[in-house]
């Protein structure tokens, strides 16, 4: 599915931010483990969480959707070998978290994904799980992932060679589902939704910081039962709305219920340094997650050297940050972002190709981008390839706001994996996106 985006006279209005994809998947898994009746509001009803939901039901969970509420029901039987392969579609988060969760259950299962997911590296989770005592086979470090039954080690300690929230959460879920303790050290702080959820459920978790990084000690303990859980809005989705309002003229947009977890919302810090007119109001906590409402106005942006230390916290937002940098005055430098090469696409390459089509002067680095912005609207004379990557597709549709003649982005079907009704929501604010 190809989509076109055309320039408009600005954006205005308010929108409720779609639910957080990462949190939606985590509460499904941990909520299933609690084995009680739970109603989840704010759940992101999109392809990735739905794949995780179907996989859990195949393992013995009882999860249903009714309108905007997701219900997890008490299980009468323990988790068991699934009747078929667990197909996680395009969800890298789903396959990695479930691999950890299943590894602690002493059951057999095979996890698969679509063509794109089957190219993504899985050794980063398989290697530590193997050290924990699991028998796991892969296709040269990629899906399918075949997990054999058997128990894992108690009191396992692991120092992560590379900072990754998915690896960390994978191991923590293995610990939770097995009832064993684990100590994990990450070299840099990554998103901490799993830790926050465990804390919210009164789990025995100790967090400390040292010269080595951040250490999480998760002890064998029973989590508290809950009857309701509210998922906050997905900052990564809000990022597209924020940048759209910043780069388009005569815009003012209110985005409600945005997750403001400090390990996820680093883009706000960068945009404010670039001169963005952004205000956060109604700050609060929801199920141990920071959230609030964001007011965004059209802004004259300045180029910036993005600090290396913040890159892990903005890794998913770098494509849309690159679009913002394209219309900033001066140069923006992004380095230390080689992780982007192993996302749904090689996002460094994909972003560079999109910038090239926009005639934005830039240099593609081995680990980042140097972007020379322009204050002018751009002419785009060729279709932009999304490489089937939802964040690339949405980023360059947003860029259409500053194109003289509009932009056509190819292969946008995967937008539904993270931001359902993206075109409708953006059009309600004043954009002009159509098939």
Dump pLDDT digits (tens) for 347-383: 999 999 999 999 999 999 999 999 999 999 999 989 9
Banded model confidence at residue 132, pLDDT cuts 50, 70, 90 = very high
Give the DSSP per-residue string, 11-73.
-EEEEEPPBPHHHHHHHHHHHHHHTS-EEEES---SHHHHHHHHHHHHHT--EEEETTEEEE-
Do 401 and 7 contact (CB within 8 A), yes or no? yes
Beta-carbon neighbour count of residue 312 at 10 Å?
22
Q: What percent of the chain has pLDDT over 70?
A: 100
Percent of the chain exceeding pLDDT 90 equals 93
Domains of the chain: 3-19+232-434 (3.65.10.10), 21-229 (3.65.10.10)
One of 316, 376, 389, 411 is an active-site residue; which one? Answer: 316
pLDDT the model gives residue 163:
86
| pLDDT number for residue 220 | 87
Q: Per-residue pLDDT averaged across 109-132, rounded?
A: 96
HSE on the CB side for 150, CA within 13 Å?
12
- Per-residue model confidence (pLDDT) at position 210: 85
- Rounded to two decimals, what is the model's pTM? 0.95
Mean pLDDT of 299-306: 98
DSSP label at 378? Answer: B
User: What span, in angstroms and rounded, lies between the C-alpha atoms of 75 and 61?
Assistant: 6
Annotation marks residue 192 as catalytic: no
Whole-number Å distance between alpha carbons of 335 and 364: 10
**358, 400 Cβ separation under 8 angstroms:** no
Q: Which residues pair with 284 in a beta bridge?
A: 291
| Angle in degrees, CA 182, 186, 188, rounded to 5 | 155
For residue 142, the model assigns a pLDDT of 97
């Amino acid at each position: 599915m190809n989509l076109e985006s055309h320039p408009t006279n600005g954006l205005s209005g308010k929108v409720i931010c779609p639910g957080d994809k990462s949190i939606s998947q985590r509460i499904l898994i941990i909520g299933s483990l609690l084995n009680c009746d739970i109603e989840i509001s704010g759940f992101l009803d999109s392809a990735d969480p739905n794949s995780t939901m179907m996989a859990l039901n195949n393992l013995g969970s009882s999860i249903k959707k009714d309108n905007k509420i997701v219900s997890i029901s008490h299980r009468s039987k323990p988790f068991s070998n699934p009747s078929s392969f667990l197909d996680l579609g395009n969800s890298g988060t789903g396959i990695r978290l479930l691999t950890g969760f299943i590894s602690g259950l002493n059951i057999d299962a095979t996890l698969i994904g679509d063509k794109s997911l089957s190219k993504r590296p899985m050794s980063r989770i398989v290697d530590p799980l193997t050290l924990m005592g699991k028998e796991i086979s892969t296709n040269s470090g990629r899906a399918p992932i075949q997990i054999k039954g058997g128990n894992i080690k108690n009191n396992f300690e692991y120092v992560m060679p590379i900072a990754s929230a998915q690896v960390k959460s994978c191991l923590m879920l293995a610990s939770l589902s097995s009832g064993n303790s684990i100590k994990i050290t990450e070299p840099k702080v990554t998103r901490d939704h799993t830790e926050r959820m465990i804390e919210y459920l009164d789990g025995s978790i100790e967090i400390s910081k040292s010269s080595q990084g951040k250490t999480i000690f998760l002890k064998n303990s029973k989590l508290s039962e809950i009857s309701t859980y509210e998922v906050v809005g997905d900052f990564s989705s809000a990022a597209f709305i924020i940048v759209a309002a910043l780069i388009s003229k005569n815009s003012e947009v209110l985005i409600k219920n945005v997750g403001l977890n400090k390990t996820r919302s680093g883009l706000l810090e960068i945009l404010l340094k670039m001169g963005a007119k952004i205000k956060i109001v109604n700050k609060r906590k929801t199920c141990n997650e920071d959230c609030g409402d964001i007011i965004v106005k059209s802004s004259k942006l300045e180029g910036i050297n993005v600090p290396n230390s913040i890159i892990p916290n903005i890794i998913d937002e770098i494509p849309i940050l690159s679009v913002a940098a394209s219309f900033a005055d001066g140069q923006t430098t992004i380095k230390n972002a080689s992780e982007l090469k192993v996302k749904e696409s090689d996002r460094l390459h994909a972003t560079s190709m999109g910038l090239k089509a926009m005639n934005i002067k830039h240099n593609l680095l081995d680990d980042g981008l140097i972007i020379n912005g322009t204050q002018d609207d751009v002419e785009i004379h060729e279709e932009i390839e999304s490489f089937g990557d939802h964040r690339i597709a949405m980023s360059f549709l947003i860029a259409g706001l500053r194109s003289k003649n509009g932009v056509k982005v190819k292969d946008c079907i995967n937008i539904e994996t993270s931001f359902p009704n993206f075109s409708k929501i953006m059009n309600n604010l004043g954009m002009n996106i159509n098939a």
